[in-house]
Structures are given as structure tokens and as C-alpha cells.
Amino acid sequence: MSDTIDLIEWIIGSGLSGKALEEIVGTLSKRLIKLGFPLVRVSIAMPSIDPLQRGFSVSWSKYSPVATEVQGHDDAGEDMFVRSPIYYLLSNDLLHGRWRLAEDDTSSFPLLRELSDLGATDYVIKLVAFPGGTALAGVGFSIAVDGSEGFNDQQVAIIEKIMPALALVCFQIAAMRVATDMLAVYTGARTSGRILSGQTRRGDGTAIYAAILLADLKNFTSLNERWPAERIVAWLNEHFEAVAQSVEQNGGEILKFMGDSLLAIFPADVEDPADACRRALSAATGAMDATVTLNQARYHSDQPEIPIDIVLHVGEVFYGNVGAARRLDFTVVGRAVNEAARIEKLADDVGHSLLASADFVAQCPDCFHKVGNFALKGVAEPASVFAWGPPTFERE
């Protein structure tokens, strides 16, 4: 009994100390072996609300180190889930299951056949529901042994006793994972870090110097009048994905999507912003190339082409919380953001899709040419605007 109490206290302490689930699974397996469990495999599985994965499991095996396996939302992930013991339990409103692998029919479960091939004789799985009714439904804890008699009564009792503590720790890990991963999905990795560090009050933030990328899909409003909403959303997502990949590959962060536009920043050294500007330019040209590829595919499938305009600028912005007391947006505001938005409106007039300010071009002069000086609404002085690529000349 004292060994079981010690194990429960260790599980709770591990959760309070913020240990990773991988470390907990690895050490838990070693402690169960010391308690006499002839372990083959120990696994903890939980669902996820990440847009790219339906769930994940962390497993220790007698024959391999601790590993994390992610199940996606694709057909392979769905098939893996449907053929799992967890799905069987959920489909039959059960919270626990036990298979004696040498005696019971395991043909429907690839995992159990695999364990049997490894010499496992007995498999137990238990589910514990999380509170709150969220998509984080609960945790599944499974354990397989290879002793000739399988689990004895004392070992089954130990599993029962440690489950509440283990489920509590897993709930804490899952909640923190949601807070960090999903906040990053909705706000960006850099911004989510600031929010989690405590910058949560309206007005919290700081002045930073940054290269700014503002992208806007052209003729998108007219498409809404001719195509159903689900097609529009699918095309919008394709373009945003193309731009986002290029931004992230070049070290930028998308701060917001605004209808058919997006705003991204590349934090810069105020004394030497050239590197941030070069990365922003690389992101912009990569996004333009990806858009061309998308539109070529659309053209060949009789779908509408959707061009994109991109503006590059650099300057000081306020990076922080803006909004109402209980509904905040962590974004950038300031003169540089306003100027970028005004320059974007000139794209059709000057006949170029990738424009930049004079301040930006001063850091990345190659392959830009001036298209004119323009009065920008709300800006006192006319702005010099540049276009990407060599100048074009009309023949006389």
C-alpha cells in the first residue's frame, strides 16, 4: 500500500512541477516495473482540438524509447481511431476494457495484434472523462504485460488507485497545451508568448520597429455575388495558406486576417532593419509565386483566378492590446500600418501588384523602381512609392 501511495504522490508532484507527458510516461513505466509489473507497453492517449490533429498518444515500450504519435484528421487518422480499443469503448459506452491476448479475439484491433506479436499476454485500458464538456473529452490509459498469468489482482488494484491522480495530471497538461497551442493558432507564436507572459490588459504593449507586409486579394468582393459561400471560403483559405507559409518560412508572424486581407510583421533592429526587410521581401515574392501557381491551377479547372496585391513598409508600431476591456486584439497600430494600407489602394492605379515604401526600399534597393509620388489620405507629406521588378517602358 505504501508503494502505491508513493506512486500517487509522485504522479501528482510531477504534474505540479510541469513535467512533460513524455517524461511522466517514461518514469511511470520504470516505477511500475519496480512494483513487479512485467511491462510490454504503457500509453496515455488524449484528444486534441488542434486544427491539424484529432489526438495524440505518448507511449513507452519494452522494445523502444518513449515516443509521441499524432493522429491527423485525414483518412489514415480516422481509420486508426476507428480500429482502436478506445473507439470500441466509446462506441459501447464503456470506461474500461481488458483483453487476454492469447484467448480473446483481437482481429479487429491492429494494436492488440501488434502487442501479441511482441509477446504481450494481457492488456488493460481505462478511460477517464475530463470535466467541462469541451472537445478535450478525457484521457485513455493503457498498459500491456507479458507475464504468463497476465495481471494479478494486486496490479489491477494499483491501476485503479493511480487513475484519478494520473487523469488529473493529464487534464492539467491538456489544459496548458490548449492554452499554448490554440492561442498560437489564433494569435501567432510570438504574440501568444507575450499574452501568456501576462500582457493581457488593454494598453499593454510596447513600441517596436518592424517590417510590415500587407496582402489583399483582388476582386474578391465581386466573387461573393457569383459563387456560393463555401466555395469562396475554400479559395480564401487556399490563398491565405500560400501567403502564411511564405511568411512563416521567413520568420514573420501573421497578426490578423481582415476579410480578404492579412497583416504580418517581421520584427526588426531599429539600428539595422535590413535583415527583417529582406525576409519580408522574400516572403512577399514567395507569396506572389504561390499565388501564380494557384491561379494557373484554377484557370485549367474553369475556376476564377484571384490575384493578390502586397505592400511592404517598415517603421515603428505599437505592438500590444487594443480593444474593449473584455474583448482585446493583440495587434500593431501606428502611422506605418496606416501608410501601408494607403499604399495598397494604389496598386490598381500604378499597375503593379507588389509595392513598397521609400523607407523599405532604402533597406532593399535591388529590383525596385519608383512609380511616383502620391498623396496618401491622412498623411501630410506625399509618399514615394516603388514597385517590384525592373521598370517597363511603352514603345513610341
Are 254 and 244 in contact, with CB atoms under 8 Å apart?
yes
- On the question of pLDDT at 174 being above 70, the answer is yes
What topology does CATH give the domain 196-388? Answer: Alpha-Beta Plaits (3.30.70)
Strand partners, 266: 211
pLDDT tens-digit profile of 301-350?
A: 888 888 999 999 999 999 888 888 888 888 889 899 999 999 999 998 89
Residues of the chain with CATH 3.30.70.1230: 196-388
Question: Check: CATH 3.30.450.40 for 2-186?
Answer: yes
Burial class (CB in 10 A: 0-12, 13-18, 19+), 139: buried
In this prediction, residues 285-295 reach a mean pLDDT of: 93
The per-residue b/e assignment along 66-105, b for 16 or more CB within 10 angstroms, e otherwise, is beeeebeeeeeeeebbeebbbebbbeeeeeebebebeeee
Residues of the chain with CATH 3.30.450.40: 2-186
Strand partners, 126: 96, 141
Question: Which pLDDT belongs to residue 133?
Answer: 60
pLDDT tens-digit profile of 237-281?
A: 999 999 999 999 999 999 989 888 999 999 999 889 999 999 999
Query: What's the whole-model pTM score?
Result: 0.73
- On the question of pLDDT at 394 being above 50, the answer is no
pLDDT-based confidence at 198, cuts 50/70/90? confident
The 10 Å Cβ neighbour count of residue 219 is 11
In this prediction, residues 63-72 reach a mean pLDDT of: 88
Q: Of 347, 344, 355, give the one whose Cα is nearest residue 377.
A: 344
The torsion defined by the Cα of 11, 16, 21 and 22, in degrees rounded to 10, comes to -80
- On the question of pLDDT at 141 being above 90, the answer is yes
Question: Which pLDDT belongs to residue 395?
Answer: 37
Burial class (CB in 10 A: 0-12, 13-18, 19+), 148: exposed
Are 344 and 311 in contact, with CB atoms under 8 Å apart?
yes
